[in-house]
Amino acid sequence: MAVSRRGRIPGPPDYRRARAGRLRPTGGRPVRSALDRLGPFVALVVLSGAVALASPNFLTIENLFAVGVQTAVVAIIAVGETLVIIGGHIDLSVGSVLALSGVLAALLMAGGLDPWLASLCGVAAGTACGLMNGLLTTRIRMPSFVVTLGVMGIARGSALTLSGARNIFGLPPSFKVLAAGGILGLPLPIIIVAAVAAAAHILLARSSFGRAAYAIGGNLEAARLSGINVGGIVTGLFVICGFLSGLAGIVLTSRLTIGQPTAAQGYELDAIAAAVIGGASLMGGQGSISGAIVGALIMAVLRNACDLLNVPIYWQQIAIGAVIIAAVAYDHLRRPSG
């Protein structure tokens, strides 16, 4: 390998150009076909059309808004999960961190603290969990699967301990507006999801941070040789994911009108499924925020269809599991061998 005059090994040219903003990393975000980009959206449209034909109640405004509100919590954490997956890692703690954030905020509100200050504390707790995930993964170089599995247990156990394993009641009416209110006819949870998705998309598509995340997920060693601060970027991805988990916890607590320590069980799998169905690769370096939102909507439409058609709940699990396997299989098959 050639050595520069200053005695340092230069990084791969494509990655140096990517850091300067002139090129996306070739290993980090490969050019995909129109089918790859539009596949999840087409699947959502086809699925929605089929459900609309099977049930006339599906396309009513009330039902569509209900689907949007029910999807909001999973969509928010799916955005955070997608960021982590793009960086080549995974976060299994999002559901438990969500519950801890909601319980902490509910306890503070029940104790008389202003609802918005209490919500801020809940989001801060989620962010701190994300920071823990990031530092343990990057500083100690532990696998993120193991780290986040451990934090999942810590967060869930903390939520149960703080609440005494009981639901927390007595939340102020003003806090319930977060889930029940709306602006210009749109429910607030849907507006929150739109704002989160827009901010995350800009972060990925228009910033050096986003380009570095794709580069790290696509080729870690090449990203490191190009001078990218791998530890800082990966930690940042986990922090954002923790922040969004905390925000989702506040939204869910407002919707339930109670602090529930057992809330969001299994949501980490829903978040990963939404990211994968939306086109993210579990190998890292590929994915999009719009895809994550569409993936969350596909699962929500499937569940809503089963409810409208009186399909038993266990068939819902079978259907969603089959969709996840199909999405991962497609991602594996479209990658070049070797």
| More confident call, 333 vs 334 | 333
Residues near 126 by beta carbon (within 8 Å), at least 6 away in sequence: 97, 98, 100, 101, 242, 243, 244, 245, 246, 247, 249
Residue 142: CB atoms within 10 A of its CB come to: 14
Residues near 333 by beta carbon (within 8 Å), at least 6 away in sequence: none
Average per-residue pLDDT in the chain? 88
Inform me whether the pLDDT recorded for 76 exceeds 50.
yes
* Predicted confidence (pLDDT) per residue in 195-217, tens digit: 999 999 999 999 999 999 999 99
Instruction: Write down the pLDDT at residue 30.
Output: 45
* Predicted confidence (pLDDT) per residue in 256-285, tens digit: 999 999 999 989 999 999 999 998 998 999
Inform me whether the pLDDT recorded for 185 exceeds 60.
yes
Task: Please report where in the chains the tokens 């090449």 appear, as a residue.
Answer: 222
Residue range 310-334: average pLDDT? 81
CA 96 to chain centre: 13
Nearest one of 75, 85, 27, 115 to 234, comparing CA atoms: 85
Q: 10-14: long-range contacts at Cβ-Cβ below 8 A with a sequence spacing of 24 or more?
A: 11/222, 11/225, 11/226, 11/227, 12/222, 12/225, 12/226
* Predicted confidence (pLDDT) per residue in 240-254, tens digit: 999 999 999 999 999
* Predicted confidence (pLDDT) per residue in 37-49, tens digit: 788 899 899 999 9
Instruction: Write down the pLDDT at residue 12.
Output: 41
**pLDDT tier at 35 (50, 70, 90 boundaries)?**
low
% of residues, the chain, pLDDT over 90: 73
Task: Please report where in the chains the tokens 């989702």 appear, as a residue.
Answer: 248
pTM, two decimal places: 0.88
Inform me whether the pLDDT recorded for 5 exceeds 90.
no
* Predicted confidence (pLDDT) per residue in 99-120, tens digit: 999 999 999 999 999 999 999 9
Inform me whether the pLDDT recorded for 291 exceeds 50.
yes
Nearest one of 61, 62, 45 to 53, comparing CA atoms: 45
Inform me whether the pLDDT recorded for 21 exceeds 70.
no
**What six digits make up the tokens of 69?**
């509100």
Instruction: Write down the pLDDT at residue 33.
Output: 58
Inform me whether the pLDDT recorded for 332 exceeds 80.
no
Inform me whether the pLDDT recorded for 289 exceeds 60.
yes
* Predicted confidence (pLDDT) per residue in 117-158, tens digit: 999 999 999 999 999 999 999 999 999 999 999 999 999 999
How far is Cα 297 from Cα 294, in angstroms, rounded to an integer? 5
What is the DSSP secondary-structure string of 25-80?
Answer: -TTTS----HHHHHHHHHHHHHHHHHHHHH-TTTTSHHHHHHHHHHHHHHHHHHHH
**pLDDT tier at 9 (50, 70, 90 boundaries)?**
very low
The helix or strand, by DSSP H or E, that contains position 230, with its residue range, turns out to be helix 230-256
Nearest one of 149, 85, 146, 94 to 327, comparing CA atoms: 85
**pLDDT tier at 34 (50, 70, 90 boundaries)?**
low
